[in-house]
Structure 1
Amino acid sequence: MKKAAELLAQGVYRIYEISNLTGFSSPNHFNRVFYKQFGITPSNFAKMHMEKKDGG
Structure 2
Amino acid sequence: MEVILLERIEKLGQMGDVVNVKTGFARNYLLPQNKALRKTKQNLSRFEFPNELS
TM-score tier by shorter-chain length is: 0.3 to 0.5
Answer with 1 or 2: which has the greater Rg.
2
TM-score (normalizing by structure 2): 0.38
Point out the structure with the larger helix share: 1
